[in-house]
Structure 1
């Protein structure tokens, strides 16, 4: 900014809104977080990282522990040379295919170039559960489960050995 820095501007605000600072300089991060910013992004910014920062700043994510969790309504993914809207409430499970993921929804699959870990970071952890190195499931879409796997709409999804303890802890309440 030509006349005043972003951090100086924030200091002048009596009641600051949710703020995500974007900059090319890492050295101001501590100062920014002391000003209670929502997030601090260093350029160049990856879309997944930007989306995570925005999701963190949204009011829906400021729920008290007693409040019912609310999902963001949707995410967009590049598929078939266009951006496809995927309603989070329609996701059954996500399957990793090396550099791609297949998002299985109630309306059919969506194949997109994405890392499963990046997608996992964007999904609300209260609604989605990583059960295997290659699978994330929508908890409310599960029909049944055992220690070996979960059933969703007739599809068996294995529970990986490394994930079993955490998965069973979440599912058994």
Structure 2
């Protein structure tokens, strides 16, 4: 193994460091590199690239349009994740604000996971099915399907975002996030 290959292997074991600009703010390029690292090397973040999740993401965007919500069009779920992380860090500056945001994500994840478990059990849904949307057709009401699919999306999105935001929190404040 060459020195270059050895260095590449070593750098893939941990996310790249966050860099700050002259004002002390997170450099957007270094944050993008961190997000990319998680998408490439962290299974719980990379799940947003799975075709099943991508299908769910596009379903969610269509639902928002159908409900006349203002929707920013993203081509892929991973784009939505990355922009969401960047926006969250811009809006929640300071340890207390970021801690509160991560706590809200944890609560949303918990609620979505519990709802998914209840609905999956009630309708004997297969979480390993090739298409979550097709599997949701077993739910007899449109509103039930909408709740289930929305919670599936939230569970995936929050899990990925928490993986990355938790690491960013630790980098920024020198300590592990504690709920």
- Both structures adopt the same fold (TM-score exceeding 0.5): no
Q: Which has the larger radius of gyration?
A: 1
TM tier relative to shorter chain: under 0.3
TM-score by length of structure 1 reads 0.26
Determine which structure has the larger strand proportion and give its number: 1
TM-score by length of structure 2 reads 0.25
Structure of greater relative contact order (alpha carbons < 8 Å, 6+ residues apart): 2
Determine which structure has the larger helix proportion and give its number: 2
